[in-house]
Structure 1
Amino acid sequence: MRALRYLVLAGLIGAAVTAQADPVTYKLDPGHTNVLFSWNHFGFSNPTANLGLGEGTLVFDEKDAAKSSVEVTLPLANLDTHVSKLDEHLKKPDFFDADKFANITFKSTKVQSLGGGKYKVTGDLTVHGVTKPVVLDAKLNKSGVHPMLKVQTVGFDATATVKRSDFGVGAYVPNVSDEIKIRITTEASVPKAD
């Protein structure tokens, strides 16, 4: 009888620990992550560039969004507009000054659930050595076991709009738009044990 009580107690403690361990840590997949930004060019076109992903960590709690967080590093070395001369120009001092400021980073400070798989992610965006608060409107695309990786995976899309001049990257405003639209799509998986 005493053994049964210990077994029940151990089960209750285990259940309590499991209930508190809802946040799951994921690693963002650079091969399935695009961080796209677009701008208006003299009113004629709306070019897009991909920053790609260096590395990123997502902590996600579907039941309590406040326990969630995200942190990413976007190396400017990965910047790709599909026009090599434009890539070079955007990395120069009049824009990103990539030799001096090699990375763009984002670190969340607050995650709020809006219901229906939608989230408001507030965080600090650092570009060109300047850090400003930014709000991402995020949507959970899917959460489940990835059919090929056989590990828990989540996918999100997110959007935001920033003014590049706020970050000291104001060359050619207003002819080249100050407003930058950001669109992100990403997959993140629980890292496999080595």
Structure 2
Amino acid sequence: MRALRYVALAGLIAAAGTATAAPVTYNLDPGHTMVLFSWNHFGFSNPTANLGSVDGKLVYDEKDPTKATVEATLPLSGLDTFVPKLDEHLKSADFLDAAKYPTVTFKSTKVATAGKGKLKVTGDLTVHGVTKPVTLDVTLNKIGPHPMMHSQTVGFDATATIKRSDFGVGAYVPNVSDEIKIRITTEGHDASAK
């Protein structure tokens, strides 16, 4: 009888271990997401804009991060440089043409490990109606229960550099830099949590 109890207990422990290792779907939290992009302006300054109004999902498997997937949509209506006239100019046909192309999207196509807590996430970035592959250098910040959200939470930072002219947004190059530096920080909460 005691042996049977040990077998049952071992089975429960194994099942619990398997359950925590299963892929989890997370909703990206727009309140804790910033997608910052910066550029050089005629050599004088390096302005930054935020596209943090994210709507997205991340599927993450702690046991095998290479199986992770992420999809995100960023409405240009949320673009914020903290300078209203600059926001208008960036949304105009000179640059992003937000009236015609109202969102920026990213959909992962491949994830590779790049060291402890580091990933290379390649995906299709669509800006201004043009889709190009982009690789994000990603750092896992933390994964575990969130003390205020009462759900499993995951947090990442990521960086990338793109050329805006690749996406048909080449106005004023090279005086306004073609190279755009992207920095992302985000949290996602377990989509199954109430």
Within-5 A mapping of 1:29-40 = 29-40=29-40
Q: Aligned residue for 1:183?
A: 183
SS of 1:115's equivalent in the other structure is coil
CA distance in 2, matches of 1:20, 1:109: 25
| Aligned-partner SS, 1:31 | helix
Equivalent residue, structure 1, for 2:101: 101
Q: Which residue does 1:60 correspond to in 2? A: 60
Identity of aligned residues (%): 73
Which residue does the alignment assign to 2:138?
138
Pairwise CA distance, 1:17:
10
Equivalent AA in structure 1 for residue 82 of structure 2 = H
Is the deviation greater in 16-25 or in 49-58?
16-25
Question: Pairwise mapping of residues 123-134 of structure 1 onto structure 2 (< 5 A)?
Answer: 123-134=123-134
The TM-score normalised by the length of structure 1 is: 0.90
Deviations 1:99-139 (A, max 9, x none): 00000000000111112100000000000000000000000
The equivalent of 2:26 in structure 1 is: 26
Q: Distance in 2 between matches of 1:193 and 1:32?
A: 17
Q: 1:117 to 1:17 in 2, by over 3 A?
A: closer
RMSD value, Cα? 2.1
Matched residue count? 187
Aligned AA for 2:129?
G
- Classify the secondary structure of the residue corresponding to 1:185: strand
| TM-score between both structures, scaled by the size of structure 2 | 0.90
1:18 Cα offset (Å): 3.4
Q: Partner letter of residue 190 of structure 1?
A: D
CA distance in 2, matches of 1:143, 1:16: 17
- In the alignment, the residues of structure 1 paired with residue 17 and residue 79 of structure 2 have an alpha-carbon distance, to the nearest angstrom, of 43
Residues 20 and 62 (structure 1), Cα distance of their counterparts in 2 relative to 1, 3 Å cut: closer
Given residue 155 of structure 2, which amino acid in structure 1 is its aligned partner? G
Cα pair 1:27 1:188 within 8 Å, conserved: yes
Structure 1 regions of 5+ residues with no counterpart?
Answer: none
Relative distance call for 1:187 and 1:19 in structure 2 (3 A) is closer
Indicate if the aligned counterparts of 1:51 and 1:76 stay in contact, CA closer than 8 A.
yes
CA contact (8 A) 1:53 1:72 kept: no
Secondary structure of the corresponding residue to residue 174 of structure 1: coil
Partner of 1:168: 168
Detail structure 1 runs of 4+ shifted over 6 Å in the superposition.
Answer: none
**5+ long unaligned stretches in structure 2:** none
| Worse-superposed segment, 106-115 or 43-52 | 106-115
Higher mean alpha-carbon deviation, 64-73 vs 122-131, is at: 64-73
